[in-house]
Amino acid sequence: MGLPKRTHEQFVSEVESLTGDEYTVVGRYVNTDTPIMMRHNNAPCQNHEYDVRPFKFLRGQRCSHPECRGPRTAAAWRASVDMNRFLTPPKTDAV
């Protein structure tokens, strides 16, 4: 038997306990994998509304507005480049 299904009210409660009043659930929770509309209650991003999968939000994925993401640091860029080097198969010369 699996876990009991989370209700809309339970999801809203989890969001409030994680973020206080920083985020508002705008859409209706269906399940953990169906995107739901969220609002970031933040003046710099103009209360940006966006879709996110509930499980991703609960694991830390937040507002995607450029004002909220902040500048990308050189260290973060280097880390992504290094990671992509390992994810991309090496090029071989065809004979």
Half-sphere exposure of 24 (CA within 13 A, CB side): 8
- pTM of the predicted model, to two decimals? 0.70
Three-state DSSP state, 83: helix
Q: What is the C-alpha to C-alpha distance for residues 50 and 28, in angstroms, rounded to an integer?
A: 13
Q: What is the pLDDT of residues 21-52, one digit of tens each?
A: 999 999 999 999 999 999 999 998 899 999 99
Half-sphere exposure of 51 (CA within 13 A, CB side): 6
Q: Within a 10 A sphere around the Cβ of 36, how many other Cβ atoms?
A: 21
* CA Rg value for the chain: 18
